[in-house]
Amino acid sequence: MQDQFGRTIEYLRLSVTDRCNLRCRYCMPEEGVADLAHGDVLRYEEMLRVVAAACRLGIRKVRVTGGEPLVRRGIVNFIGQLAALPEKPEITLTTNGLLLAEQAEALKAAGLSRVNVSLDTMRPERFKELTLRPGLNQVLAGIQAAEGVGLLPIKINVIPFVDFNTDEIVDFARLTLEHPWDVRFIEFMPISSDLDYASRDGLSMAEVEARLRTLGELEALPYQRTSGPAHMYRLPGAKGRIGLIPSVSGHFCGDCNRLRVMADGRVRGCLFDNQETDLKPILRDGGDDQALEDLLLATACAKPEKHQIHDKDFTTPNRRMHGIGG
C-alpha cells in the first residue's frame, strides 16, 4: 500500500480503548474520560476485520495501544486472533506496564512479539505526582516479567520534561549498561494542550544528548528500519541501546509508514492531522471487505506529506493522546 508521496504504508497502530488506569497529567484529565456511548467502541470482531483488511493491503506490523490496552477485557484472546491472521503480522503492544506482570506470560503465548513500556520516572513519589496513581513497583515488575517470558527486546519510552525528570535521564540511560533493553527518549508533542501539564516544556533531543555525553562516548548505531524514527546509540560496553526520537524537532515524515485506527472505528493518516475516516458505517451496515479495503487505501493515500507543528497557525489535534493511541 503506497501513499501519494510514494511512502509504503505497512505499520498499523490500533487503539483498543481510550480508557486508562493511570492519569498521566499530559495525556488524560484527572477525572478520566466520559464513557463512549454504548456501541461506539468497536467490538473485537470488528477490529479483527479491519486489521485483516489492512494486512491484505500490506500492513506487516500491528501495534496494539490505547488508552491502556491491558485494561480491556479479552485483550489476550484478541492478540491471539491478530497473530493468527493468514498474513502473520508482527503484533506488538504499548503499555504503561501496570498490568503487565500478570499478563506477560499469556500475551507471549498468544503470539505477542514485543512490548514498549512507557515510564517517565523511576522515583515513586514522582510517579505518583505525574500519573496521579501509585504503581511504580508494578511497572518495574511488569518489565521484568516481560523480559522473563521473552517479549524482547524490551523498549522503555521516556518523555523528558524540564524541571521534572531531567535529572533521571542518565539514570534511565544507565539501565542499558546492565540490561539488553532499548531506552528511548521521546520529545513531548503539542497534543492534549487543554491539559494543565501540557504547559510544561519538554526537552529537545539535542538537550538529552548533551546530558548523555556525560556518561561517555555515545556510539551511533547504523539505521535499522525496526527502530522507526529513533536514532540509536550505545554507551561503551552497554548491553542495551539508547534511542533518541526528535518527534518535534526532527523531520521524519518522509519515512512515515503508519496508519492509525482508533477504538471508535475511525482511521487517521497522521497523528497531527484531524482528517479521519469512519469505518463503522461499512462495518455495521453490511459493507463488504472490498469497501473496507477501499476506504483504508483512500485514507493511506490521503496522508499529508508532513506535519505542520512548526507552522504559526498549527492547532493541536482535536483528540487527546489517550484517544489517538500515541
Note the residues at the interface with ligand SAM (CB under 6 A): 20, 26-27, 65-68, 94-96, 118, 157, 159, 186, 188-189, 191-192, 321-322, 325-326
Please name every residue paired with 93 in a beta bridge, in sequence order, or none if there are none. 64, 115
Q: How far is the CB of 287 from ligand SF4 (least distance, A)?
A: 30
Exactly one of 24, 41, 244, 271 binds ligand SF4 (CB under 6 A); that residue is: 24
What distance lies between CA 22 and its chain's CA centroid?
15
What are the C-alpha distances in Å from 263 to residues 15, 91, 120, 278?
Answer: 5, 17, 25, 11
**Which residues, listed in sequence order, are joined to residue 126 by a DSSP beta bridge?**
none
Distance CA 48, CA 22 (A): 27
Q: Is 22 in the site for ligand SF4 (CB under 6 A)?
A: yes
Interface mask (CB under 6 A) for ligand SF4, residues 109-138, using x and -? Answer: ---------x--------------------
**Strand spans (E) along the chain:** 11-15, 61-65, 90-95, 114-118, 155-158, 182-186, 219-220, 231-234, 241-245, 258-261, 266-268, 276-278
CB 296, min distance to ligand SAM, A: 22
Using CA atoms, how far apart are residues 325 and 306, in angstroms rounded to an integer?
A: 19
Rounded-to-integer distance, Cα 196 and Cα 191, Å: 12
Helices (H) and strands (E) in the chain, counts: 10, 12
Residue 266 bridge partners (DSSP): 278
Q: Which does 186 bind (CB under 5 to 8 A by kind): ligand SAM, ligand SF4, none?
A: ligand SAM
Distance CA 321, CA 315 (A): 14
Contact call for residue 322 and ligand SF4 (CB under 6 A): yes
Name the residue nearer to ligand SF4 (CB basis): 121 or 299: 121
- Smallest distance, ligand SAM to C-beta of residue 114, A: 13
Instruction: Report the chain's C-alpha Rg in angstroms.
Output: 19
User: Which one of ligand SF4, ligand SAM, none interacts with residue 28, CB within 5 to 8 A by kind?
Assistant: ligand SF4
Q: Of residues 67, 202, 246, 317, which one binds ligand SF4 by CB under 6 A?
A: 67
Report the residue number, 68 or 276, with the smaller CB distance to ligand SAM. Answer: 68
Closer of 67 and 160 to ligand SF4 (Cβ): 67
Burial of 76 (0-12, 13-18, 19+ CB in 10 A): middle
Name which position in 68, 182, 209, 264 contacts ligand SF4 (CB under 6 A).
68
Kindly tell me which of 132 and 210 has the beta carbon lying closer to ligand SF4: 132
Between 156 and 232, CB nearer to ligand SAM: 156
Element (H, E) at 296: helix 289-301
Phi, psi of 175 (to 5 degrees): -55, -30
The DSSP symbol for 266 reads E
Q: To the nearest whole angstrom, how small is the minimum distance from the Cβ of residue 69 to ligand SAM?
A: 7
Nearest to ligand SAM of 273, 293 (CB atom)? 273
Say how many residues touch ligand SF4, by CB under 6 A. Answer: 13
Please pick, from the candidates 63, 66, 117, 317, the single residue that binds ligand SF4 as defined by CB under 6 A.
66
Regarding 263 and contact with ligand SF4 (CB under 6 A), the answer is no
Smallest gap, in angstroms, from Cβ of residue 177 to ligand SF4? Answer: 27
State which of positions 74-103 bind ligand SF4 (CB under 6 A). Answer: 96
Binding site for ligand SF4 (CB under 6 A): 20, 22-24, 27-28, 66-68, 96, 118, 321-322
